Chains A and B, each alone.
Chain A
Amino acid sequence: MNIHEYQAKEILRALGVPIPAGEVATTADEAEAIARRIGSQVVVKAQVHAGGRGKAGGVKLAKTPEEAREKAAAILGMQIKGLVVQKVLVTAASDIASEAYVGIILDRATRKPVFMVSPAGGIDIEEVAATTPEKILKLPIDTRYGLQPYQAMRLGFFLYDDLAKARAASKIMGQLYTAFMQSGCSLAEINPLIVDTAGNVVALDAKMGIDDNELDRRPAIAALRDETAEEPSEVAARNANLTFIKLDGNVGCCVNGAGLAMATMDLVKYYGGDPANFLDIGGSSNPEKVVNALRIITSDPNVKCILFNIFGGITRTDDVANGIVTATRQNPLKVPIVIRLTGTNEEIAMKILSENGFAASSDMDEAVQKAVALATGGKAA
Chain B
Amino acid sequence: MSIFIDKSTRLIVQGITGRDGSFHAKQMMEYGTQVVGGVTPGKGGQMFEGTVPIFNTVAAAVAATGANTSVIYVPPMFAADAIMEAADAGVQLIVAITEGVPVLDMTRVHPFVKERGVRLIGPNCPGLITPGAAKVGIIPGRICTPGPVGVVSRSGTLTYEVVYQLTRAGIGQTTCVGIGGDPINGTNFIDCLAAFEADPATKAVCMMGEIGGTDEQEAAEFVRTRMTKPVVGFIAGQTAPPGRRMGHAGAIISGSSGTAAEKLAAFEAAGMGVAKRPLDFVELIRARLR
Contact = CB atoms under 8 A, between A and B. Distances in A.
B157 interface: yes
B208 A266 contact: no
B183 A108 contact: yes
> For A113, A144, A257, which residue has the most chain B Cβ atoms within 10 angstroms?
A257
Nearest to A260: B157
A245 B107 contact: no
Nearest to A144: B108
B238 A266 contact: yes
A196 interface: no
A260 B111 contact: no
B139 interface: yes
Given A144-B108, A181-B104, A258-B247, A278 B210 contact: no
B240 interface: yes
B140 A259 contact: no
Nearest to A106: B103
Interface string A256-287: 11111111011111100001001010010000
Interface string B99-143: 111111011101100000000000000100000000000111001
Contact of A263 (B101, B181, B236, B248): B236
A211 B240 contact: no
B237 A262 contact: yes
A239 interface: no
Contacts, number: 161
B51 interface: no
Interface in B190-239: 208, 210-215, 234, 236-239
Interface stretch (A25-33, A131-139, A212-220): A212-220
Given A259-B156, A260-B161, A263-B278, A213 B111 contact: no
Contacts of B256: 126
B102 A259 contact: no
Contacts of B138: 313-314
B286 interface: no
B108 A143 contact: yes
A364 B161 contact: yes
B164 A311 contact: yes
Nearest to A266: B238
A259 B239 contact: no
Contacts of A226: none
Given A108-B250, A278-B240, A364-B279, A258 B183 contact: no
Contacts of B164: 311, 342
Contact of A245 (B154, B155, B241): B241
Contact of B107 (A111, A266, A268): A111
Contact of A262 (B103, B153, B246): B246
B140 A106 contact: no
B277 interface: yes
B103 A213 contact: yes
A106 B103 CA distance: 8
Chain B, interface size: which category? 35 or more
B63 to A, nearest CB: 27
B276 interface: yes
A256 B157 CA distance: 7
Contact of A257 (B139, B140, B157, B234): B157
B184 interface: yes
Contacts of A126: 255-256
DSSP class of A's interface residues: helix, strand, loop or mixed? mixed
A106 to B, nearest CB: 6
A112 B107 CA distance: 6
B186 to A, nearest CB: 10
A113 B184 CA distance: 11
A243 interface: yes
A347 interface: no
A266 B77 contact: no
Contacts of A112: 107
A151 interface: no
A244 B154 CA distance: 19
B7 interface: no
Contacts of A275: 239
B45 to A, nearest CB: 30
A366 to B, nearest CB: 10
Contacts of A342: 164
A41 interface: no
Interface in A161-190: 181, 184, 186
B146 interface: no
A314 B208 CA distance: 20
B15 to A, nearest CB: 15
Contacts of B173: none
Contact of A343 (B103, B111, B160, B246): B160
Nearest to A245: B244
Interface in B50-109: 76-77, 99-104, 106-108
B249 A278 contact: no
A216 B78 CA distance: 12
Contacts of B108: 143-144
B270 interface: no
Contacts of A343: 140, 143, 160
Contact of A269 (B102, B158, B239): B239
A211 B106 CA distance: 12
Contacts of B159: 259
B251 interface: yes
Nearest to A278: B246
A214 B249 CA distance: 12
Interface of B: 76-77, 99-104, 106-108, 110-111, 126, 138-140, 143, 153-161, 164, 181, 183-184, 208, 210-215, 234, 236-241, 244-251, 255-256, 260, 276-279
The 8 closest A-B pairs by CB, nearest first: A259-B155, A258-B247, A257-B157, A259-B158, A262-B236, A260-B157, A262-B237, A108-B183
18 contacts: A106-B183, A108-B183, A111-B110, A126-B255, A184-B102, A211-B102, A216-B100, A258-B210, A259-B154, A259-B158, A262-B251, A263-B161, A263-B277, A269-B238, A311-B157, A315-B157, A343-B143, A344-B140
